[in-house]
Amino acid sequence: MSFDVNIILRYYPELLGGAWVAVWITAVSLVCSSAVGAVVCIGRLQKHGAASRLATAYIDLFRATPEIVLIIWVFYCLPLLFDVRIGRYGCAIIALSAYGGAYMAEIFRAGVQAVPRGQIEAANALGIPIFHIVRRVIVPPAIGWMMPALVNFLTELLKATSLLALIGVAELIFVASTLGSKTFAYMEFYTAIAVIYFMIIFPLSVYARRAEQRRLRRTGN
Amino acid sequence: MIRAGTRAGTLGGLANRWGFHAVLLALGALMLANLNWTLVRSFEFAFIWEYRIALINGFGITLLLTVEAGIVGILFGTLFAIGSQSPFAPLRWLVAAYVEVFRNTPLLVQLLWIHFALPLVTGINTTALVSGIIGIGLQAAAYYTEIMRAGIQAVPRGQIEAAQALGLPARTRWTRVVLPPAIRTVIPALLNQNISFFKATAIVGLGLLVDDFFNSALRVSNDTFHFIEPLTFAAAVYLVLGWQAGRWTLRLERRLTRGER
């Protein structure tokens, strides 16, 4: 067995390209899933009614379905069902945003519920418009509370982009498999992408763990 | 309106004010209007029955991988977690490195590495299923190590010190004093993790082309050129099983925490 570092160096632009695809798909999906998550969270925060039930169903649906099943389903079925052309990248973003929306909704809900009720009541008693209550009273402390969970979810999303290779999105695994079949240097390329994934994900998960501990120490439970 | 705003569900009041329900209805109507109704009308789920043998075999593989992840994960996870409490620092570092590597890289990368790169190192070729079993077992061990470690750290220090003061040998201390309450506290976390691995088995199926349940469903699709029916059926099976297992775990968790009080 020999490990040829030179072949990685020769093809590093391709590998970086794959990493870039993974990162931008993650970024776009994160933004979209925040939007979906915010809407679902508003529904979930209601005590009863159609919106509450619908939001709960949405969260259950997308948390119980495996990500890969969702990605494949969106790729094969969605364009047929609605008779549209979406493309690999569109499917990837739709699937990841739908899946992410369910998780983001739960993260947002935990954040909002962590804000002391008295503060919201006080703001309400002062007659502050609800939009300003959300922006000035609920969001700032909620963000601090949510940060560890958010970053944790970001690492999950990054790991989920690896599954997009199976629908032909040219992210890291796809690039490595292509290069591997061209040069037979599977060992080198799969090791290289494992290292790249680790270098992106590891700092984030360390940060999430630290932030979580800091929060636990601050709130004292 | 004001009363609605005074509850923690303030956003609930917000939702009503924005005509949230109207927006939802509009979205639903838009989706229904854009559905390809000719296709929907031609749906026919009966032919899936003809592939029942393949699907049941596939489901067997899925179950095998899920159970294997649980057994291998809990066994090795417990061992590694005990290692992580060792006074011998290099052993602790080794466990930490193992856990970090397997938790911070995607499962698919690990599977491909084990299937295509590992044989170059060991000289032993593994079939796709064996690679999948190794890969999911290794990752399960890493995740379960973290869970077991949390459980061990939740055992009151006084109990461990008491065992030490009584002069119990290390083996008895672990098997009789530390592990029983540690495992009890983490049972719900272990089950939740195993539900995640049930979901992850589909990655083994598609990534390494093992004929698990989902890959079998995809092959039915490719065989019949009907994509929506088999894939939706498979997704529904995963959804129902995963959802139901999650509910049972939650109920068990509630019962366990009630027993503690």
Domains, chain B, ordered by start: 2-30 (no CATH), 55-260 (1.10.3720.10)
* Euclidean distance between CA atoms A51 and A31, whole angstroms: 22
Give residue A137's pLDDT. 87
Q: What is the ipTM of this complex?
A: 0.91
CA A73 to chain centre: 18
Mean pLDDT of A165-170: 92
Domain that holds residue A208: 5-219
How much is the pLDDT for A2? 76
Write out the two tokens for A47.
Answer: 């005590």
Q: Which of A68, A137, A158, A209 to mutate to probe the B interface, most B CBs <10 Å? A: A68
Q: Looking at the 3D structure of chain A, how many domains does it have? A: 1
Burial of B209 (0-12, 13-18, 19+ CB in 10 A): middle
pLDDT at residue A84 in the model: 87
Percentage of residues in chain B having pLDDT higher than 70: 92
Average pLDDT over residues A181-199: 92
Residues A189/B101, Cβ–Cβ less than 8 Å: no
**pTM, two decimal places:** 0.90
A218 touching B (Cβ < 8 Å): no
pLDDT at B14 over 60: no
Q: Which residue has the tokens 């609920």?
A: A138
* Average confidence (pLDDT) over B139-167: 93
Q: What mean pLDDT value characterizes chain A? A: 91
pLDDT at A63 over 90: yes
Per the listing, tokens 């519920």 go with A113
By C-alpha distance, the chain B residue nearest A156 is B106
Q: What is the CATH number of the domain that holds A150?
A: 1.10.3720.10
Query: Which is more confidently placed, A52 or A66?
Result: A66
Nearest CA-CA distance, residue A140 and chain B, Å: 16
pLDDT in tens, A87-109: 899 999 999 999 999 999 999 99
Tell if the CB–CB gap between B36 and A82 is shorter than 8 Å.
yes
Report which of residues B21 and A75 the model is more confident about: A75
* pLDDT for B6 beyond 80: no
pLDDT at A142: 87
Record: contact B231-A76, CB cut-off 8 A = yes
- pLDDT score of B150 more than 90: yes
Chain B interface, best mutation among A40, A48, A69, by max B CB count within 10 A: A69
